[in-house]
Structure 1
Amino acid sequence: MGVRIAVLAEPRIQQRIFGEKHWEQLSALGEVARIEQEGPMQPVAMKAVIEGADIAITSWGCPALTGDILEGAPKLKGVLHAAGTVKGIVTPEVWRRGIRVSSANGPLGRGVAETALGFTIASLKHMWWLSQSTRLGGWGSGRDKVRELYQVTIGVIGGGKAGGHYIRLLRNFDVHIMIYDPVMTAEQAAAMGAQKAELEVVLAASDVVSIHAPSLPATYKMINRERLAVMKDDAILINTARGSIVDEEALVEELRKGRLFACLDVTDPEPPAPDHPLRSLPNCILTPHIAGAVNNGVKRVGQFAIDELKRLLAGTPLEGEVREEQMSTLA
């Protein structure tokens, strides 16, 4: 009998992450069993599908893989998560059984990085204001505020999957890149094409600051009143990571002064209240958490899980492997 693959995602999520060609690829790799019952997954349905499986593919909405669920899959070698964080599904029992874990944070991070680059270019070019001015009958007023992605300093907060890809994209431009990441060495930063520095130094020196840090107790409201105050006048703050990293009350105060410009794809909480000032401040661009993957881009994570499955079966390294000791520092 070939490899048994259990797809532990409810049908609506399956439709988001897999297309017809993805199912064909999976069927070519082994026997596929999947959740067929609509609605939130129940442990009994998961146990039935995962029984005897060699590989499990999980995604958004998948409950934790408890010992009770894993009992029926003694041969399980890998959990391939076709989504971002694995914290909600991986339990100590997974590690105890020696099951390998992979996350699709990489392809999701690429989408986040591309969005951050779009915010960077549009904001430096002053496109948001110029578009509105032109729509109201103006033409050219404000061109003096246009900046190019050329010989400016870009600060990156967090050098993980998204931050790392953002830096790779920036290397196509003549810019100076600085990074704050407490778990990264200066040598690792230099290899990426960035200069490692302390957070306050990065904030003070940068024309654009893009946040790509995980949401952890240590990063809660890390961008606070004091740190916002050291940023340059007319600096641009981009947050495509987590809203909890920014002290929004302090940011509103700075934005009301007209000193900074912000592009926020995330808030805390989401969505913000209908009358929240972030919705109406003219120097704040607010988007509804679209940076990672929304529609066709979600298929990236499905293909990544399939590619990881191929690598696992071939005995080659997994690109998205997550290890137990990393869990405390992951988003």
Structure 2
Amino acid sequence: MTRIAVLDDWQGIARRNADWSPLEARAELVFFEEAIADEDAAAAAFAEFDILLTMRERTPFPASLIARLPRLRMIGITGKSNPSLDLAACAARGIIVCHTEPSGRSASATAELALGLLIAAARGIPAGDAQIRAGGFQHGVPVGITLAGKTLGVIGLGRLGGLMARYGQALGMEVLAWSRNLTPEKAAEAGATYATKEELLARSDAVSLHLVLSDRSRGILGAADLAQMKPGAILINTSRGPLVDEAALIAAVTEGRIVAALDVFDREPLPARHPLRSAPNTVLTPHIGYGVAETWAEFYPQSVENALAFLDGTPIRVT
């Protein structure tokens, strides 16, 4: 019998966001709600499955792992690409890779979280919440800042960065923008002022990252860059952890030089004893930027459609 694994269902919401019965009538379906520890664990867990329906890049599939999955015939990915999946290795094995097509309804989700992290960091909202739940009130809650009149630096002025720029404007902030290919004209179209990376870091009271992780962007903010930021400035990262040098970031927040509001990390889930879990001057969320009801209403039904089409011998949305 065909066996299908639904991976990375960390919030336990897959079952209620699609009608899985057509698949269950034709295959054995297994849902995995816990993160897979490493490649050996993944090889052991998935060796007897024919189809894997994955969630973004939560479980990496390098060539070495694909070679250890002898029954694998199809992988479903959510979104149009998955940098942690070796497509060449899949092609060499004849494994079909199918993706989902975003409708745009959830396009604002990550930018809205970036705005939420900015406000949470600026006003000490997590600390205030924790104090009240612990029986206290204002004691120990940091004094916040007003964002109106401050400067927001946006690194990466694409679709999400453009939304963040407009949110900053709505708050009454001056908005600076930089990326390697950005021009002053393009920045102005988004209501931002072009600045060099050095100028943006030195002038901004908050910096929000909106870049795709690539070989060019990995480590785009290193120790020297973080040192250029204003004392007490807020760094928001809802894109990918490795855009920022993690060791330098931990040093900067531990020493109280900046505040970090993070939804993404170098390793996810964040290990139990990772220093960021206890670091001061941080606001942390567990990579939920895209994880809204509208996203799940697109990802899971289309994943079911992809698997059914493959079983019918007419795969759709082939990457």
Q: Into which bin does the TM-score normalised by the smaller protein fall?
A: 0.5 to 0.7
The offset of 1:212, in angstroms, is 1.3
TM-score (norm 2): 0.65
Aligned to 1:137: 136
Whether 2:76 is the aligned partner of 1:83: answer no
Aligned to 2:315: none
Of residues 258, 268, 272, the one that matches 1:260 is 258
Do 1:236 and 1:263's aligned partners in 2 also have CA atoms closer than 8 Å? yes
- CA deviation vs aligned residue, 1:67-125 (integer Å, no higher than 9, x gap): xxxxxxxxxxxxx975253554877x9xxxxxxx9853955552111111101111111
Letter in structure 1 aligned against 2:79: A
Of residues 237, 246, 262, the one that matches 2:244 is 246
Letter in structure 2 aligned against 1:165: L
Do 1:84 and 1:103's aligned partners in 2 also have CA atoms closer than 8 Å? yes
Of residues 281, 286, 295, the one that matches 1:298 is 295
Letter in structure 2 aligned against 1:85: S
1:199–1:104: structure 2 CA closer, same or farther, 3 Å change rule?
A: farther
Letter in structure 1 aligned against 2:176: M
In structure 2, distance between residues paired with 1:303 and 1:188: 36
- CA deviation vs aligned residue, 1:125-156 (integer Å, no higher than 9, x gap): 1223333344452436657x322231111111
Letter in structure 1 aligned against 2:136: G
In structure 2, distance between residues paired with 1:210 and 1:300: 28
Whether 2:166 is the aligned partner of 1:162: answer no
Aligned to 2:126: 128
- CA deviation vs aligned residue, 1:22-53 (integer Å, no higher than 9, x gap): 99xxxxxxxxxx985535999x978xxxxxxx
SS of 1:219's equivalent in the other structure is coil
In structure 1, distance between residues paired with 2:268 and 2:6: 25
In structure 2, distance between residues paired with 1:170 and 1:271: 30
Letter in structure 2 aligned against 1:160: G
SS of 2:108's equivalent in the other structure is helix
- CA deviation vs aligned residue, 1:252-295 (integer Å, no higher than 9, x gap): 1111211211111111122333222211012122222111115x
SS of 1:38's equivalent in the other structure is strand
1:202-213 equivalences in 2 (<5 Å): 202-213=200-211
> Unpaired segments of 5 or more residues in structure 1?
1-8, 24-33, 47-57, 65-79, 94-100, 306-323, 325-331
In structure 1, distance between residues paired with 2:198 and 2:26: 49
In structure 1, distance between residues paired with 2:191 and 2:104: 19
1:10–1:191: structure 2 CA closer, same or farther, 3 Å change rule?
A: farther
SS of 1:218's equivalent in the other structure is coil
Do 2:117 and 2:262's aligned partners in 1 also have CA atoms closer than 8 Å? no
Do 2:17 and 2:300's aligned partners in 1 also have CA atoms closer than 8 Å? no
The offset of 1:185, in angstroms, is 2.1
1:155-304 equivalences in 2 (<5 Å): 155-293=153-291, 296-299=293-296, 301-302=298-299
Q: Tell me the percent identity.
A: 30
> Unpaired segments of 5 or more residues in structure 2?
31-44, 63-75, 92-98, 303-318
Runs of 4+ in 1 over 6 A off after TM superposition: 9-15
SS of 1:123's equivalent in the other structure is helix
Do 1:104 and 1:304's aligned partners in 2 also have CA atoms closer than 8 Å? no
Aligned residue pairs, count:
270
Of residues 38, 42, 45, the one that matches 2:29 is 38
1:309-324 equivalences in 2 (<5 Å): none
RMSD: 4.6
SS of 2:216's equivalent in the other structure is helix
Do 2:235 and 2:261's aligned partners in 1 also have CA atoms closer than 8 Å? yes
TM-score (norm 1): 0.63
SS of 2:207's equivalent in the other structure is strand
Do 1:82 and 1:301's aligned partners in 2 also have CA atoms closer than 8 Å? no
